């Protein structure tokens, strides 16, 4: 039988095992590299999202926060030890909820930070409780602030600023309750007056929160310590209470 030329060409030898292993390793390395890129992209997106969108505000009921702030100012009043002090008319006094200092968060809103009035975050307010005392001479206010400092630090508050020297224009005590966003301040003013104020950090109020005619969260009727309402002197405590249902809101009183 005559053989054709191609019958004389031997079949190709199978690829060595080492070459196959190299191809497998190369393919696996490519898959790992792709997975690393995808994982890195996802990780960056997860890391960057809070920076771009901003950390969400905590959620809190403004009415409940208001009552807690009243508890803080009552504790401060009890520690003052000023039985002869009387309520004083005070600008922006009472329970207040307003959002002028609660701005939109995140890098996406950075371009709006430079304007005079940056946009407020909708549905977010800061609650405060403020009232004033009269008949508090500086000589009585200074030791009273020291009594408050001692009492409130024993309750877990931390002093952030304390100016109580006679050569200072004002005596002032500022504290914070760690981990809560709550602050408390007591400041002397000319005319033998003393301001007591507690503030909560900006927080988003829950859906369904009752609002007033201005669209602000409705707060409970503000109250002052019982001693200042005259209960210890046998007077009617109702005389110094606002009418029921007139929850205080912010930015209604001029400074």
Q: Write the pLDDT tens digit of every residue in 136-154.
A: 999 999 999 999 999 999 9
Does the pTM surpass 0.75? The reply is no
Give me the mean pLDDT over the 188-202 stretch.
97
Q: Per residue in 53-68, pLDDT tens?
A: 668 899 999 999 999 9
E strands along the chain, which residues?
A: 86-88, 94-98, 124-134, 158-163, 172-177, 182-189, 193-199, 203-204
State how far the Cα of 129 lies from the Cα of 222, in Å rounded to an integer.
8
The pLDDT score that the predictor gives to residue 29 is 62
Q: Outline where DSSP puts E strands in 105-169.
A: 124-134, 158-163
Tell me what pLDDT residue 207 has. Answer: 94
Angstrom distance (rounded) from CA 162 to CA 207: 39
User: Do 151 and 74 meet the contact criterion of CB atoms below 8 Å apart?
Assistant: no
Give the angle subtended at the CA of 252 by the CAs of 247 and 255, to the nearest 5°.
125
pLDDT band at 41 (very low <50, low <70, confident <90, very high): low
Q: Under 8 Å CB-to-CB from 39, ≥6 apart: which residues?
A: none
State in Å, rounded, how far the first CA of the chain is from the last one. 118
Return the higher-pLDDT residue of 141 and 233. 141
**What does the pLDDT read at residue 91?**
85
Confidence of residue 117 (pLDDT cuts 50, 70, 90): low
Residue 250 has pLDDT above 80, yes or no: no
Q: Please, are residues 231 and 87 in contact by the beta-carbon 8 Å criterion? A: no
Q: How confident is the model at residue 185 (pLDDT cuts 50, 70, 90)?
A: very high
């Amino acid at each position: 039988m005559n053989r054709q030329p191609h019958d004389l060409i031997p079949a190709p030898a199978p690829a060595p095992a080492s070459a196959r292993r190299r191809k497998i390793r190369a393919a696996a390395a490519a898959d790992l590299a792709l997975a690393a890129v995808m994982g890195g992209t996802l990780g960056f997106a997860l890391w960057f999202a809070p920076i771009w969108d901003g950390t969400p505000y905590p959620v809190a009921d403004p009415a409940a926060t208001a009552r807690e702030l009243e508890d803080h100012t009552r504790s401060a009043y009890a520690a003052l030890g000023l039985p002869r002090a009387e309520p004083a008319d005070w600008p922006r006094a009472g329970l207040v909820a307003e959002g002028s200092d609660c701005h939109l968060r995140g890098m996406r809103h950075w371009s709006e930070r430079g304007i005079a009035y940056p946009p407020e975050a909708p549905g977010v307010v800061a609650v405060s409780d403020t009232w004033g005392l009269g008949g508090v001479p500086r000589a009585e206010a200074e030791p009273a602030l020291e009594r408050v400092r001692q009492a409130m630090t024993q309750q877990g508050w931390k002093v952030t600023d304390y100016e109580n020297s006679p050569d200072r224009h004002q005596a002032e005590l500022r504290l914070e309750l760690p981990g809560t966003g709550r602050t408390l301040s007591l400041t002397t003013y000319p005319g033998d007056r003393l301001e007591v104020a507690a503030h909560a950090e900006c927080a988003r109020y829950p859906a369904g929160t009752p609002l007033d005619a201005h669209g602000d969260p409705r707060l409970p009727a503000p109250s002052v310590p019982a001693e200042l309402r005259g209960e210890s002197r046998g007077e009617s405590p109702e005389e110094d209470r606002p009418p029921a249902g007139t929850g205080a809101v912010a930015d209604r009183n001029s400074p």
